[in-house]
Structure formats: C-alpha cells, structure tokens
Amino acid sequence: MRVFFTNLGCKLNQAELEKLAREFHHAGHQVVDSLGDAELHVINSCTVTHRAARDSRKIARRGARRRSTMRTVLTGCYATGSAEEAARLAGVDLVVTNDRKHELLRLVHEAFPECLPQGAPRTSPEAPREPPPFVPLAFGNTRTLVKIEDGCNMRCAFCIIPSTRGRQHSRPLPEVVAEVRSMAAQGFREVVVTGVQISHYRWQGRTLHDLATALLEETPVPRIRLTSLAPWAFDRRLLALLGHPRVCRHVHMSLQSGCDATLERMRRPYSSAEYRALVEEIRRAVPGIAITTDVIVGFPGETAAELDASRSFVESMGFSRVHVFSYSPRPGTEAEELPGQVDPATIKARAAAMIEAAAVGERRFRERHVGETLPVLWEEERDGRLLGTSDNYLRVAAPVPAGDRADRLAGELTATRIVGLSADGSDAAVRGSILAPLTSRAAGAAGAAGTGISP
C-alpha cells in the first residue's frame, strides 16, 4: 500500500510521524511523497490553537474527494480532543487517539485487511520496539527527532495538552539509548530530544541529565539537541552538558508572556524576573547559546499596558527565535471561561507588534555571530546553495566550495565562518563560508559500527 504522511503542529508530532513512517515501510508498505500517489493518508493532527484544529479538519476532508481510491486515518491531538467530531468528518475512515497511536499500524491492518502488503499475515504483530532500519523519507536523513516522554501534569490556564496527551510518562532510558544508537548507525548526524516536558523526564529515578549523559557516553551520534525545557524545572547540572562539544548550544524555554500579571492568570509558576535570571545564568555558563521561546498575545484580560510590558521584555531578552501565538480559547480549559476575552482584530494587531519586537532581538543575535566560526550540519542543496543548521540554531546558507559537490557535503558537519546576514525573506538567517570538515558521515557510521550496532 502506498502511504502518505501529513504532520501538523509540534516537534513531538513530527517525531511520532517519522517513527510511524518507518514502521509502515518496515511492514512492507511504500511511503510516497505525494498525496496524489497515496492509497492511505495518515494525518497527525494538532489542536493547540483553533487554527491548528481548523487546518486538521481541512486536511482530513481531502479524503472525501478520493473515497474510492484512498483511505484516510486521523490521529493526534485534534483526533483525541474531538474524537466524535473527527469521526464524522467527510473522508475520514479511521480515527486513532493518542493513547493508541503506538498501535496505529496494527489498527490500520485490522480496519483495512485488503490493504495488507502481499504475503503479510492477516493479523499483524505489534510495531517493533527497536526502530526499523533507515529508509529514505521526505523528512531527510541528517537530523531526526526522538521522543523521550509524553503528557503533562501542569494545568496552565490556556493549554489543552493535558487533555489530549494525558499525564506525564517517560520512556525507559535503555530504550531511548538503543534508538539513538540505531539512528546514529543509520547515518543520522543530529538527534533532537523531544517531548512535551522533557525537563520532567523520570525513569527509575533517572533524570534528563542522566539520559543526556548516557547518550553522550553510550552512543556515537555527533550532535544532540535538547528541546522544550521548563523554566521552573531547569536542572543546573545541564549547564555543564550544554558546553559539551556534542551537545548543541540551544535551549527552548517557553515564556508565554513577559508580564507578571498575565503570567499569574496563565498559571505559569514563575515571574518574568525569575525567567530573566535563569536566561542570564545559562548565557554566562554557555557563551553564544541560542535561547528560543514561545509567546502568547491576546490572553484574556490582557490590557494594552500588559502587552507593552511583555513586548518590552521580549525585545530586551534578545531571543534567537520567538514563536508568537495568537491566543484562541480551547475547549475545556480554564482560560475559555475567563472574563476579558480580547477581540480577534486586537489580537491580530498585537501579534504583529510582538513579532516586530521579537525581530529586534533576533537580528541582534545573528549580528553577534558574524565573523565567528560555527559548526554547521548541512542538510540540503537548494538553488545552488547548501542549507544547514549551526549548533546554536542559526539557519545558514553557503556556496558549495570550488572542487566539491553538494551531494558529498549534505549530511556533513563542517567548520563554517559566518560572513553576513541573509537578505530579508531568505530561507536562511545568515550566510556562511565552509572552512573544513569536522566529522564525516563515514566516520560516524564507523563509530556506530564500533558500538555493536549494524548499519
């Protein structure tokens, strides 16, 4: 069966979809890069905002146009939070909630036995615990995401995630290490460690620090990137690890607002001063580190003065990247019932103002690195240039050096001098000049082979 995968939402959703795609390929299905070629469409949906939920419904309905030739499976947070509505959508053949997503391959085989690969048993086994061998997916094969935990025990006033993903729970540490070791053996150069709240990773008393240490000691993957660290639960022992040459100098910590009054209504367990102090501590310990964040505008009760306080805070912090969310009420959350709901036109204007404020700090961060030499992982070639990501999360574009080839450099880590900023609207933040290789894909594969994992 030819299968096309669509992801909406966060890095955790992307990590889950990559794993599903490999499981389907391992079971004998063909993963295709065009919906027009597909016999099965698997959608990992999102509902973090009303727009994300709307987009999930819109994409799911595409199946109605091809009911005779294509099946549609809807999973993810929208499918979980609004399961009955999802099942009624025209074109949707099967809804799989988050708590059963790990069974999705089996559930598809049971629901559509005519779609079983030729020669496959009528009752398919559970998906393999070890990641199946690498296959060339549209997601690429230089960076991959590995999910270490799921769920959230917090009850922020605006957030629907606890309802759609349940209580926080962590994967066994040895299982994560085995998956990362396998990814390294298959040629991946960077592993992005992801989850809902990875700061709260706990397995038999082991913490995120213990897991990150195990990944450094027991796997050969050249780069490890940590995501979604909680500012109220930041383990100071991570500061030493963030200075390790194989750990990316990048921390994502959601701020949500730079105004204390708004933070209190949001039920966020920190003040803007505490957040600032933590960022300053991290920057002192790890020079050049990228701090990325999320900010919400238009939260119920937000006044013009509160917005100004939040904007000023964001501009002063110099975040390397800010994702600005326009608040939208989510069903079942506390904020849905709060007084002072802000009208959509005002929220739109406030989002534009916040994006403008964030851009000031983002540009300053880029300018500070002009003239420096950074480790860059090259991911693809586009319009005659290589595109890649530095350890501190700068998107870099560089010409292919004379006498070299783009296909040889894709997937390589090189020392790269940052020579200037890219033009506005470019697909890269800065321009670079490749100096020398740091590690090669071949060397990484040899290191992985040395661990006893077969490429």
Q: Are residues 357 and 381 in the same domain?
A: no
Q: Are residues 354 and 239 in the same domain?
A: yes
Q: What is the CATH number of the domain that holds 254?
A: 3.80.30.20
Q: Are residues 359 and 378 in the same domain?
A: no
- Three-class SS of residue 360? helix
Q: Are residues 197 and 270 in the same domain?
A: yes
Q: Are residues 193 and 269 in the same domain?
A: yes
Cβ contact 290:392 at 8 Å: yes
Domain endpoint, select from 327, 348, 365: 365
Q: For residue 145, which of 101, 98, 179, 104 has the smallest C-alpha distance?
A: 179
* Per-residue pLDDT tens listing for the chain (455 residues): 899 999 998 888 888 988 899 899 889 999 998 888 999 999 999 998 889 999 999 999 988 877 678 999 999 999 999 999 999 999 899 999 999 999 999 999 999 988 777 655 544 445 444 554 444 444 456 889 999 999 999 999 999 989 999 999 999 999 999 999 999 998 899 999 999 999 999 999 999 999 999 999 999 999 999 988 999 999 999 999 999 999 999 999 999 999 999 999 999 999 999 999 999 999 999 999 999 999 999 999 999 999 999 999 999 999 999 999 999 999 999 999 999 999 999 999 999 999 999 999 999 999 999 999 999 999 988 888 899 999 999 999 999 988 888 888 888 999 999 999 998 767 789 999 999 877 655 444 434 333 222 22
Domain endpoint, select from 337, 365, 393: 365
Q: Are residues 21 and 161 in the same domain?
A: no
Range of the domain at 34: 2-115
Q: What is the CATH number of the domain that holds 19?
A: 3.40.50.2300
Q: Quick check: is 130 in a domain?
A: no
Q: What is the CATH number of the domain that holds 437?
A: 2.40.50.140
Q: Are residues 301 and 155 in the same domain?
A: yes
Which regions of 109-187 does DSSP assign to beta strands (E)? 143-147, 149-150, 169-170
CA dihedral 286, 292, 298, 302 (to 10 degrees): 0
Which regions of 290-412 does DSSP assign to beta strands (E)? 290-297, 321-326, 373-382, 385-390, 395-399
Domain endpoint, select from 307, 332, 365: 365
Q: Quick check: is 260 in a domain?
A: yes
Q: Quick check: is 120 in a domain?
A: no
Q: Are residues 205 and 283 in the same domain?
A: yes
Residue with tokens 């890069």: 33
Q: Are residues 319 and 361 in the same domain?
A: yes
Q: Are residues 341 and 357 in the same domain?
A: yes
Q: Are residues 202 and 282 in the same domain?
A: yes
Single-letter residue type at 363: R
Q: Are residues 416 and 390 in the same domain?
A: yes
Q: Quick check: is 338 in a domain?
A: yes
- pTM of the entire predicted model: 0.86
Q: For residue 216, which of 201, 238, 236 has the smallest C-alpha distance?
A: 238
Per the structure, the count of domains in the chain is 3
Q: Quick check: is 439 in a domain?
A: yes
Q: For residue 253, which of 199, 304, 200 has the smallest C-alpha distance?
A: 199
Instruction: Give the other-Cβ count within 10 Å of 127's Cβ.
Output: 18
